Structure 1
């Protein structure tokens, strides 16, 4: 019987990373993280708001996730258990970063909702969309962390 979870104790390389769990989550991480990055970048930055932190988290996670995916795709990890542990550590760290960014930008949107006429502006709607995609990114990174931990324990 075929399984898309990959072999236990095995780190895939090449095109196999797009067919195995947890590596299949690289693409949604990049898509949703890129959406957060683009949505925050297209709004205005009012002093004392957390948008700079959110865009920093989004940009950092986007770049590192892309590099991490390329390491696995090129086979540079050489199927060592230390890479599986590093995969868990990075995705857990990225989950915490995205969770903090999600809470901050959601709090900022709540504050903006009390400003008269702010709910009718395009910037407010973009910030709300960024909140949604930031929480979705957090969820995808969390799921990737759980499945990476399961794979790491199988080594």
Structure 2
């Protein structure tokens, strides 16, 4: 049984999370780093791409910005071992975060791919189209990373 007066590092809800320097050595920790870095690259490419409908592009940029910042905050929280100091169900929070991240990023990636296909019929220069293709590729790579993190989180939480 878990004793609440004991050290929080023994809490089963945080024992499987990559805390402290384990962020750099565990596969799930490296995924957080990759999600942050590739998410930032995807955000830059999405912002540089030209789309026929700027209103829908707002959703894509919102998702890319939100989850790039959230991944950075998650990385900082895990490196500073905040989950050890706050007794809460961090595995559930991790699972909910990855469900949201994967579903929102998947919708944004599909929307960006639609923009790219739609733009291919309108644009004659390869420079603009190249930005859109790169944005689609990076958006789907980040979506894949969030999907892998979601499956790891599902396995660890045994839901």
Match of 2:130 among 105, 125, 134: 125
Partner of 1:107: 114
- Residues 109 and 128 of structure 1 are in contact (CA less than 8 Å); yes or no, is this contact kept in structure 2? yes
Matched, 1:65 2:71: yes
Match of 2:60 among 54, 77, 87: 54
Aligned mates of 2:96, 2:124 — CA distance in 1: 39
CA RMSD across the alignment: 2.2
- Residues 36 and 55 of structure 1 are in contact (CA less than 8 Å); yes or no, is this contact kept in structure 2? no
> How many residues align structurally?
145
SS in 2 for 1:14: coil
Deviations 1:121-140 (A, max 9, x none): 42221011000000000000
Aligned mates of 2:74, 2:106 — CA distance in 1: 20
Aligned mates of 1:34, 1:57 — CA distance in 2: 11
TM-score (norm 2): 0.82
- By how many angstroms is 1:46 displaced? 4.6
Over 6 Å off, 4+ runs:
none
Give unmatched runs, 5+ long, in structure 1.
Answer: 1-7
